[in-house]
């Protein structure tokens, strides 16, 4: 077997592989012998049909199987001998198997770029001073009230107002024909939230419980849901109920209802302030590291592996889709174009990949590794932040094959901590210029239901 490596670009390699005719013939002979023993061809006893007859019936199938086996058996060896580490699955270009001839195929792969990185230690970077005000605490209390609010039917004879929660049955029609999937029963619309079709949300304002109304919504040509794009859709609405949010009164009784940790509203306020302080400390640290990493990555330019960029875009889209679904809507109903979203996410994804490669380079240069003690400490920290049981958290990560990803996160954090220790930190009241990048945050979002 012979292999020739061609450098297409800084991140792309072409490997031309040629397997000798003798090996091809050997594989073909083995395949025909194995097949002839188990197939039944009319006029011949099992295993007695001449090879030419077997070729007539099964020649293409055997050629494809042998080709697949030759590639499968040689691929890992070729990559190992080339001392290349492909990013993702390499693409294969092959030709047909020809008896008595060498078999050739080509591997196209992307690899991590090699680049030079200098002067990444001792960089000057601003750090925001911690400042928690009473307004911050009061704002969080308002969020807690919203989180613990209940939906109750309105107790007055009035029409729908912006902010009301409306229970409706609806059906979409186009040219007087009902549209499949554009309907709902006992469906909740938050008037004015723009989480549903905005024109429909504004169109139901003023309707009362029991009212029925047909309204036409004009969808643009580029609307994400192609079933609706460019069409005038008639929505037949039946208002089942109108509800409003009933906010709790913040007093000692409310505080005690949240658990034994709180004996009074004062206890709850102290806990809220403590939590805000912890969150702000993490935010300040996160943004400090982001600014520092941004300064380092700005000092170097290199070609990015597109497979890493596309993977990051896919990850971002999956996360956005999950958040959209959790909010009770979808890309289609929200009018989100996935094609446009991909374009909008590309710049951020490229920056994320560049930072990832720079951090990996620094880890190699500084010989920074993740030890078992780091993993143990990382799980303890994650359990404390999320309130989950430590053993169950570790079991979940192991069961769902998330350990490698967790180790990667720990390595990133370890490298960033190393860079911060070597940086020149300038503490300021307010950051003069925001350069926060769109990074994946390990910390959970604020959960006001935890109080």
- Residue 211 belongs to domain with CATH number: 3.10.50.40
Mean pLDDT of all residues in 192-197: 86
pTM: 0.70
- Is the pLDDT at 442 greater than 50? The verdict is no
User: In degrees to the nearest 10, what's the CA dihedral of 320, 322, 326, 331?
Assistant: 60
Q: Contact, 5 vs 81, CB < 8 A?
A: no
- Among 116-125, 187-196, 332-341, 427-436, the range scoring the smallest mean pLDDT is 427-436
In angstroms, the CA 125 to CA 435 distance is 11
Number of domains within the chain: 3
pLDDT tens, 273-282?
A: 999 999 999 9
Instruction: Specify the DSSP element, H or E, that contains 318.
Output: helix 306-326
Q: How far does Cα 343 stand from its chain's mean position? A: 16
- Is the pLDDT at 37 greater than 80? The verdict is no
Average pLDDT over the chain, rounded to an integer: 88
- Is the pLDDT at 446 greater than 50? The verdict is no
- Residue 118 maps to a domain: no
Query: pLDDT band at residue 285, thresholds of 50, 70 and 90?
Result: very high
Are 315 and 232 part of one and the same domain?
no
Residue span of the structural domain in which 355 resides: 124-141+263-450
Are 268 and 332 part of one and the same domain?
yes
Are 214 and 279 part of one and the same domain?
no
**Phi, psi values for residue 218, rounded to 5°:** -95, 115
In three-state secondary structure terms, 329 is coil
- Residue 19 maps to a domain: yes
Looking at 122-264, list the stretches that DSSP marks H as alpha helix, in order from N- to C-terminal side.
Answer: 134-147, 198-203, 252-257
- Among 43-52, 113-122, 259-268, the range scoring the smallest mean pLDDT is 43-52
Cα three-residue angle 76-79-85, rounded to 5 degrees: 115
pLDDT at 443: 35
In angstroms, the CA 278 to CA 294 distance is 24
Are 57 and 183 part of one and the same domain?
no
Are 136 and 189 part of one and the same domain?
no
- Residue 116 maps to a domain: no
Are 280 and 414 part of one and the same domain?
yes
Half-sphere exposure of 108 (CA within 13 A, CB side): 9
Are 277 and 365 part of one and the same domain?
yes
pLDDT tens, 163-172?
A: 999 999 999 9
User: In degrees to the nearest 10, what's the CA dihedral of 204, 205, 207, 213?
Assistant: -20
């Amino acid at each position: 077997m012979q292999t020739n490596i061609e450098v297409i670009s800084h991140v792309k390699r072409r490997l031309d592989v040629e397997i000798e005719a003798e090996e091809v013939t050997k594989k073909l002979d083995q395949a025909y012998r194995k097949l002839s023993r188990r197939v039944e061809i009319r006029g011949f006893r099992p295993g007695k049909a001449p090879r030419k007859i077997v070729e007539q019936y099964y020649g293409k199938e055997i050629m494809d199987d042998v080709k697949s086996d030759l590639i499968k058996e040689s691929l890992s060896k070729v990559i190992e001998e080339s001392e290349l580490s492909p990013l993702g699955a390499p693409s294969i270009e092959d030709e047909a198997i020809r008896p008595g001839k060498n078999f050739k195929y080509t591997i196209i792969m992307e690899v991590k770029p090699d680049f030079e990185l200098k002067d990444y230690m001792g960089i000057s970077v601003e750090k925001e001073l911690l400042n928690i005000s009473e307004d911050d605490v009061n704002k969080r209390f308002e969020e807690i009230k919203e989180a613990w609010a209940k939906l109750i039917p309105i107790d007055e004879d009035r029409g729908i107002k912006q902010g009301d929660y409306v229970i409706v049955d609806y059906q979409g029609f186009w040219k007087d024909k009902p549209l499949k999937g554009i309907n709902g029963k006992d469906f909740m619309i938050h008037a004015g939230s723009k989480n549903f079709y905005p024109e429909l949300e504004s169109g139901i304002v003023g309707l009362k419980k029991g009212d029925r109304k047909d309204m036409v919504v004009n969808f643009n040509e580029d609307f994400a849901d192609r079933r609706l794009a460019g069409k005038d859709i008639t929505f037949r609405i039946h208002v089942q109920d109108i509800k409003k949010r009933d906010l709790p009164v913040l007093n000692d009784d409310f505080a005690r209802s949240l658990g034994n940790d709180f004996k009074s509203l004062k206890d709850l306020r102290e806990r809220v302030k403590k939590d805000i302080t912890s969150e702000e400390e993490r935010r300040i640290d996160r943004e400090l590291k982001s600014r520092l990493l941004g300064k380092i990555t700005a000092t170097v330019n290199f070609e990015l592996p597109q497979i890493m960029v596309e993977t990051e875009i896919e990850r971002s889209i999956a996360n956005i889709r999950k958040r959209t679904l959790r909010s009770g809507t979808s890309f289609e109903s929200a009018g989100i174009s996935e094609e446009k979203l991909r374009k909008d996410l590309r710049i951020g994804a490229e920056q994320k990949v560049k930072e990832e490669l720079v951090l990996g380079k620094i880890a190699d240069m500084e010989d920074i590794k993740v030890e078992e003690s780091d993993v143990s400490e990382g799980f303890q920290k994650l359990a404390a932040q999320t309130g989950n049981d430590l053993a169950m958290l570790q079991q979940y990560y192991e069961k769902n094959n998330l350990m490698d990803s967790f180790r990667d996160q720990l390595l990133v954090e370890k490298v960033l901590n190393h860079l911060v220790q070597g940086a020149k930190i300038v503490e300021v009241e307010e950051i003069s210029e925001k350069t926060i990048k769109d990074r994946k945050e390990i910390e959970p979002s604020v959960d006001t239901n935890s109080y």
